[in-house]
Amino acid sequence: MTKSTTEAVQITTLPNGIRVVTESVPYVQSASVGLWVGVGSRDEDEPTRGISHFIEHMMFKGTKNRTAHSIADEIESKGGSLNAFTDKEATAYQTRVLAEHVGLSMDILTDMMRHSLFDAEEMEREKRVVLEEIKMYEDSPEDRVHEVFEQTLFPAHPIGKSIIGSSKTVSSITRDDIVGYIENRYRPDRIVISAAGNLEHDEVVKITQDMMGDLSGIAPVRKMRTPKASGKSKQLRKRDIEQVHFVLGTSGYSKMEKQKYALSILNNVLGGNMSSRLFQEIREKRGLAYSIGSYSRSYQDGGMFAVYGGTSPGTYEQVLELTRKEFSSVRELGLTSDELAKAKTQVRGAVVLGLESMNARMNRYGESLLSYGRIIPITEVLALYDAVDHAAIAEVAAQVLDESKMTLSAIGAFPRSKATDAAAD
């Protein structure tokens, strides 16, 4: 068993490889506890697309020791909450509880992971739930367009694939698929117990050792390759909606590339908030959209940058033109010194203010250990943002805002001549 300490954060690696990371914050009366597993949609095979997300759902459907109702009730009756999420590279099961219930949180989380029944009737019932979730996204163009964008941007890379899967793949998942996937992927080297709040590190370590110390095995090494942006476009015609929802963007930077910090600053200026260029120009000045903004995402071997907007069919082309005009302006002129300074201050504020939430701290530690194998100190993160200068912005703008590399995805009431792919009307 190995132990290390960074700032107020303590990390212990159990003999079997499970890592426990905690931060003791004695002035709060609560704690957030998460069981993180380094497995997500990018690790799936095509025939079982969506299985990571489906397993997350099934973990709440009963164990050898608890019914589905008991799993929720034992936490909620103590004033706490229980939740989970699946993304492309990780699955996390999380609780927020009063400090005296950390042990209960650990017991329930480990029970879910180790003793879930995956009952046949529950599986069929939950498949219907997930199929309704898929339909919900398909009926929500403001959500669906992001998935279309990712699939169009990176059609040959796993980070371009859907997290939730399709109706066909979800319907075909069997209990044997689930058991095999867990036995193969939910291994100690992929598991992190992360906690922050009024708790004792050694206590969390002891509970983890008692409940999970007998786990063994190593998960398959994740295949890594840099995704290549397609530069293609896809516009889906849908008659029964009032707006065109679009995403315009291209590849960005991986979690391992320092350029991601400059891109974050650039994103802040372009469309990251209400004072950004796109929001002010397109919404405030011209009234062409209610929703307009940008975002960047980073994964272990690649990333993306995109602008999302929703506007009327008659103003769609104008909004695209204005967006591209801002891209061109940044490529040619860069940011002003005031914009750069303000963006650094805003990003710093977001980072620091986020630390006031125990849940945010717990999430940061779990994600950081899985992605980097260490907890990156906040001082290091802030220094990397502070080091971003005009030259770094120019480099990133030249690479990311290159019009020839852009992918466009849109869903709306296009004339048939403008839709490159027909959607169900």
What is the enclosing helix (H) or strand (E) of 324?
helix 316-333
Residue 146 · residue 308 · CB < 8 Å: yes
Which residue among 23, 44, 46, 56 is the active-site one? 56
Sort strands 91-98 and 244-251 into parallel, antiparallel or unpaired.
unpaired
Sort strands 233-237 and 191-197 into parallel, antiparallel or unpaired.
unpaired
Strand partners, 303: 298
Q: At what angle do helices 102-115 and 68-76 cross, to 10 degrees?
A: 170
Q: Burial letters for 61-75: b for 16+ Cβ neighbours within 10 Å, e otherwise? A: bbbeebebeebeebb
Residue 59 · residue 78 · CB < 8 Å: no
In whole angstroms, give the CA distance from residue 399 to residue 267.
14
**CA 97, 98, 104, 107 torsion-angle sign:** positive
The helix/strand/coil state of 225 is coil
Write the DSSP assignment of 172-234 as a string of letters.
H--HHHHHHHHHHH--GGGEEEEEEES--HHHHHHHHHHHHTT----PPPPP---------EE
The helix/strand/coil state of 307 is strand
In whole angstroms, give the CA distance from residue 97 to residue 117.
25
Write the DSSP assignment of 345-365 as a string of letters.
HHHHHHHHHHTT-HHHHHHHH
Residue 56 is a catalytic residue: yes
In whole angstroms, give the CA distance from residue 32 to residue 199.
10
What are φ and ψ of residue 318, in 5° steps? -65, -45
List residues with catalytic annotation: 56
